[in-house]
Copies of this chain bind each other. A is one copy, B any other.
Amino acid sequence: MFDKIRVVLVNTSHPGNIGGAARAMKNMGLSQLVLVDPERFPDPEAVSRASGADDILANARVVATLEEALADCVLVLGTSARDRRIPWPVVDPREAADKLLDQLEGPAAGPVALVFGREHSGLTSEELQRCRYHVHIPSDPEFSSLNLATAVQVLSYEVRMQSLKRQGLSTSFQKPEAVAEDEPPVTAEQMELFYQHLQQVMVEIGFLDPQQPKKLMSRLRRLYERGQPNQVEMNILRGILTETQKAIGVQAAGARRS
Contact = CB atoms under 8 A, between A and B. Distances in A.
B27 A172 contact: no
Interface string A153-164: 110010011001
A225 B132 contact: yes
Contact of A87 (B103, B150, B173): B173
A191 to B, nearest CB: 8
A136 to B, nearest CB: 7
Interface in A23-53: 23-24, 26-29, 51-53
Given A70-B188, A110-B185, A218 B125 contact: yes
- Count the copies: 2
B174 A143 contact: no
Interface in A51-76: 51-53, 67, 70-76
Q: How large is the interface on A (under 10, 10 to 19, 20 to 34, 35 or more residues)?
A: 35 or more
B138 A171 contact: yes
A24 B147 contact: yes
Nearest to A72: B187
Interface string A14-30: 00000010011011110
B24 A171 contact: no
Which 10 pairs between the two chains have the least Cβ-Cβ distance? A92-B171, A90-B173, A150-B153, A70-B188, A71-B189, A74-B185, A29-B140, A92-B172, A108-B184, A129-B221
20 contacts: A26-B143, A27-B137, A70-B189, A73-B188, A74-B187, A86-B222, A87-B173, A87-B222, A89-B174, A89-B175, A90-B173, A95-B171, A95-B172, A103-B185, A106-B185, A125-B218, A130-B221, A136-B171, A136-B172, A154-B157
Given A129-B221, A136-B172, 15 more contacts: A24-B150, A27-B145, A71-B189, A74-B186, A89-B175, A89-B226, A90-B173, A95-B174, A110-B185, A129-B225, A130-B188, A130-B221, A136-B173, A138-B161, A138-B171
